[in-house]
Amino acid sequence: MTASAGGVALVTGASRGIGAAIALRAARAGYAVLVNYSADSAGAASIVQEIRDDGGTALAHQADVSDPEAVGSMFDQAATLGAVTAVINNAGITGNLIGNLSDVPPATVRRVMDVNVSGLIYVCQEAVRRLSTATGGPGGSIVNISSTATKAGSPGTWAHYAASKGAVDVLTVGLASEVAAQGIRVNCVAPGSTNTGLHAAAGMPDRVERLNPTIPMGRGAEPDEVAAAVLWLLSRDAGYITGAVVPVAGGR
């Protein structure tokens, strides 16, 4: 396989939801795409096939981002498509529960932090090693996916998850300054309530609908609307933007 003129985009957690929408949009924008997944091989294969059916180039690759060795292998696989120039840190979990912080089991807290914080850091570290112009890399862009849950802290639902996403915002700002002179831009998209399977997996499939009255635009986002913001941040039109946290939340 050969990479497209847009280089290679590595998208973590891309087998469904927002990650899948980002992978599809990246392919339409001219990137070859590495579709990362943790467990949903069928979902990842479906996204890869959709990209290929549309004339694009894509590979699926299983890796748990909380394992730094697996992250390195994931980047090696992406490099078989060409030079990686875009890294989208989308992989994230809630622990599949909704409730008060005092009721969240320690094992769930550890797993959420391992994936959402440590995993994101491992991917960012590897991305800098590969992209930095200071070490011969091509430069490029990292976009992290956070959440507007960081604004209110998600009391009574996902306070642990909101805390993990607060770390994503802070890391984005710090890393952006650290690597700005190395040809790498680092930004963040913070979706609000979005129509994905995340809520159903946690036992509240109607959560987005319930939140609609609290959203000025009166509805939740569609995954492709979040993906559009990500692709804009990757584009030359956003070439002077780094360290930004962009809300995609309908005004909430």
Strands 84-89 and 245-248: unpaired
Residue of 31, 37, 122, 161 marked catalytic: 161
- Taking alpha carbons only, the member of 215, 220, 191, 189 closest to residue 204 is 220
The rounded distance, in Å, linking the Cα atoms of 19 and 98 is 22
Asked if 48 contacts 36 with a C-beta cutoff of 8 angstroms, the reply is: no
The number of residues in the chain equals 252
CB contact set of 113 (below 8 Å; sequence gap of 6+): 160, 164
| 161 in active site | yes
The rounded distance, in Å, linking the Cα atoms of 26 and 50 is 12
Q: What would the two tokens of residue 252 be?
A: 């909430």
CB contact set of 170 (below 8 Å; sequence gap of 6+): none
| Catalytic residue annotation | 161
